[in-house]
Amino acid sequence: MEYLYQIYKEFFPIGVAVGLEHLEKYWDLLKHFNSITPENELKFCEVHPEESTYHFEKSDKLVQYAKENNKLVRGHTLVWHTQNPDWLFEGKMVSRDMLLKRMEDHISVTVDRYKDSIYCWDVVNEIFPDGEGKLRDTRWKEIIGEDYVEKAFCYAHETNPKAKLFLNEYNCEEDIKLDLIIDYICQLKKKKIPIDGVGVQGHYSIVYPDLEKVRKMFYRLAKLDLQIQITELDISMFAFEDHSCDKKAPSREMIDAQARYYSKLFSIFREYKDVITGVTFWGAADDFTWLDDFPVIGRKNWPLLFDEKLQPKKAFYAIADFRESQIRKMEELYKEE
Ligand code: XIL
């Protein structure tokens, strides 16, 4: 049997977000992926819970696992508005200089530790809110000013000039946000800020977004002359506004719709293989997904390629069998002639 990443080897690495506590359970499933993202282990609050204390035990273990199993590691994430420790913005008089120093220390220690093992970093995460056309109001922005983003990229680059540095964002296909991302990145490039890529999170659902919108997004992002990675892919069974909680299992219609969505989405990814340098799923199997608690706490969801018993779903075959479906299409064409 070929693993998924082997099937996609001419296109892009196939990654998965995984927590250390799930490594054993998913050992066999993880063979399908040649890249991993620590799901939480590298976030600020995990790595740097107190000003003078760093905890790298968990991330070290994941990185070691990746090394021993020939997988790339994506670093997620250096600067974000959430999952931060209290001390970071604490003290009545946290000045711009103090917070910049804290940011620089955090970035330089963390990026340096994995200089040889983490090939790319989500330097900033979710810096744009939905629908507003401006940088998100965060403590980072409030205390440092809007250039906190530029500083973060510079600190990461100074620490490891080889690392590929990403701006990671959700809902990138939304018109207002896409305009903003493109504008913003053009400005960063004009200022010679060392940015290498855009991370498109890819938290989608079986009804949203329209795939033509996704295609249009890649078309526009591709012109930036940067790498694009899909960094947190999952396809929820529910529209974002749908808060219903009555399903104990996904219906057949849901499973089929999800497989069709994944299939079309991956055909768009393949079209853009020249600029897409990675596709990472936000989880391995439906027994554990952050969507069980978002946007509705405790509502089961089934957004991934493997089911709750860790068996491949239709969605898995939909993206794994693309060569066969192409052959079938060709055969049908010849028949028609
Ligand atoms: C999520 C994790 O999956 C959860 O385990 C955690 O409780 C909260 O964060 N966008 C991101 C990710 O950039 O870091 C988030 O991960 C999911 C949304």
Instruction: Render pLDDT for 164-202 as a digit per residue (tens, 0 to 9).
Output: 999 999 999 999 999 999 999 999 999 999 999 999 999
Please tell me what DSSP assigns to residue 318: H
Tell me what pLDDT residue 154 has: 98
- Does residue 10 surpass a pLDDT of 90? yes
CA of 332 to the centre of ligand 1 (A): 43
Closest to 154 (Cα-Cα) out of 111, 207, 113, 98: 111
Tell me what pLDDT residue 132 has: 86
Distance CA 282, CA 291 (A): 10
Q: Average the pLDDT over 219-229 and give the result.
A: 98
The more confident residue out of 334 and 229 is 229
Residue showing tokens 């969505």: 261
- Does residue 265 surpass a pLDDT of 70? yes
- Does residue 331 surpass a pLDDT of 80? no
- Band (pLDDT 50/70/90 cuts) for residue 207 is very high
Distance CA 333, CA 321 (A): 18
In the set 126, 150, 169, 173, the catalytic residue is 126
- Band (pLDDT 50/70/90 cuts) for residue 50 is very high
Its sign, for the CA torsion 167, 168, 170, 171, is positive
Strand (E) or helix (H) holding 268:
helix 252-271
The more confident residue out of 332 and 278 is 278
Q: Collapsing DSSP states into helix, strand and coil, what is residue 234? A: strand
188 within 8 A of 195, measured Cβ to Cβ? yes
Pocket probe for ligand 1: among 43, 128, 290, the residue whose CB has the most ligand atoms within 8 Å is 290
Report whether residue 46 contacts ligand 1, using a CB cutoff of 6 Å. no
- Does residue 333 surpass a pLDDT of 90? no
141 within 8 A of 135, measured Cβ to Cβ? yes
CA of 217 to the centre of ligand 1 (A): 23
Pocket probe for ligand 1: among 39, 292, 304, the residue whose CB has the most ligand atoms within 8 Å is 39
Residue showing tokens 């010849």: 334
Distance CA 65, CA 236 (A): 29
**pTM, to two decimals:** 0.96
Q: Average the pLDDT over 89-98 and give the result.
A: 90
Distance CA 300, CA 292 (A): 5
Q: Average the pLDDT over 213-233 and give the result.
A: 98
Q: How far is CA 112 from the centre of its chain?
A: 22
Which three-class secondary structure string do you get for 59-122?
A: HHHHHHHHHHCCCEEEEEEEECCCCCCHHHHCCCCCCHHHHHHHHHHHHHHHHHHCCCCCCEEE
Q: Collapsing DSSP states into helix, strand and coil, what is residue 14? A: strand
- Does residue 136 surpass a pLDDT of 90? yes
137-166 per-position pLDDT tens digit: 999 999 999 999 999 999 999 999 999 999
13 within 8 A of 32, measured Cβ to Cβ? no
CA of 39 to the centre of ligand 1 (A): 7
- Band (pLDDT 50/70/90 cuts) for residue 336 is low
Q: How far is CA 222 from CA 198, 236, 246, 277, in A?
A: 10, 26, 41, 12
Instruction: Identify the residue whose C-alpha is closest to ligand 1 atom 3.
Output: 290
Distance CA 195, CA 123 (A): 9
Return the percentage of the chain with pLDDT > 90, whole number: 93
Tell me what pLDDT residue 93 has: 86
State the amino acid at position 250 in one-letter form: P
In the set 39, 169, 173, 232, the catalytic residue is 232
- What is the length of the chain? 337
Q: Is 336 a catalytic residue?
A: no
Write out the two tokens for 292: 């069980």
Tell me what pLDDT residue 135 has: 97
Atom of ligand 1 minimally distant from the CA of 122: 13
Tell me what pLDDT residue 337 has: 62
